[in-house]
Amino acid sequence: MSRAARHFKKAQLASIFRIARWGSFVAGFVSIVLFLCDFSVSASTQSAIKTQIGEVPEHSVVVVLGTSWRLPSGKVNPYYKARVDAVDQLYRAGKVQAVVVSGDNATPQYNEPRKLRKDLIARGIPAGMITMDFAGFRTLDSVVRAREVFRLDHFVVVSQRFQIERALYIAKAHQIDAIGFVAKDPQTFGWRVRSREVFARFLAVLDVTILNTAPRFLGPKVDVPTKMDLPVSVPANVSTPEGAPTN
């Protein structure tokens, strides 16, 4: 091998090592940033997360975060079912004053709020207590719209713990008073969900600390009907005084 060739090869190797060093530095830096974002989201929200029904205040307004109700295989999404179960449990315990179902409505065939409403009604929750938020495209949209559109000063977020932590982090950054009630985490796709969540948390931190991201849509204010607004029916064996209004 000629002297020029050896020099060229050495230069190539030096270049490769330099790129590798920079690559390692960048990968290490990104890993540290992702870890810090992930940790800060979790650490800052623990006190507002409730796992027992007794910890949830009575007369609460519940905001349910939507997700797909079917897996690609066609089976029921266990994450979706667990959220419906959680709201049902809160309602049966007398904790729920109103429900906002928030999610995506990308197509007529895919409408998370409508599906949530239908399944909650099937569980016995009155339709008059359920309000649909069709613009909950992201967790940030659902949380911020709960206050800015639906005028909720206090509410309970229902989802799995990983998403609740992110939702409450966003709420805290926007000075929104919210707590979370944890739906069962099926652990079906644990590592995949966890990996995706790390990047979602990085974006959440970016949204509230640098980008000041607003919901995609806001729109006019909407009143959320509560249990108190439901018509009161008179039992058949109870007579109504003459002239008194009936429902």
Instruction: Give the distance from CA 239 to its chain's centroid.
Output: 47
Work out the average pLDDT over 141-155.
97
Residue 8 — very low, low, confident or very high, per pLDDT cuts 50/70/90?
low
Q: Tell whether the model's pLDDT for residue 241 goes beyond 50.
A: no
What is the DSSP secondary structure assignment for residue 1, as one 8-state letter?
A: -
Q: What is the CATH number of the domain that holds 68?
A: 3.40.50.620
Q: How many folded domains does the chain comprise? A: 1
**Within a domain: residue 240?**
no
Per the domain annotation, does 12 fall within a domain?
no
Instruction: Report the share of the chain in percent with pLDDT over 70.
Output: 89
Residue 221 is assigned to a structural domain of this protein: yes
Tell me which of 189 and 47 has the higher pLDDT. Answer: 47
The phi and psi torsions of 125 (rounded to 5 degrees) equal -80, 125
Q: Does 199 map to a domain?
A: yes
Q: What predicted TM-score, i.e. pTM, was given to this entire model? A: 0.85
Indicate the DSSP class of residue 239.
Answer: P
Domain that includes residue 198, residue range: 46-227
Distance, in Å, from the CA atom of 142 to the CA atom of 139, rounded to the nearest integer, reads 5
In a domain, 36, yes or no: no
Q: Is residue 33 part of a domain?
A: no
Query: Is 95 domain-assigned?
Result: yes
Cα 53 to Cα 140: distance, rounded to the nearest angstrom = 25
Per-residue pLDDT tens over the stretch 102-144: 999 988 889 999 999 999 999 999 999 999 999 999 999 999 9
Can you give the pLDDT at residue 1?
61
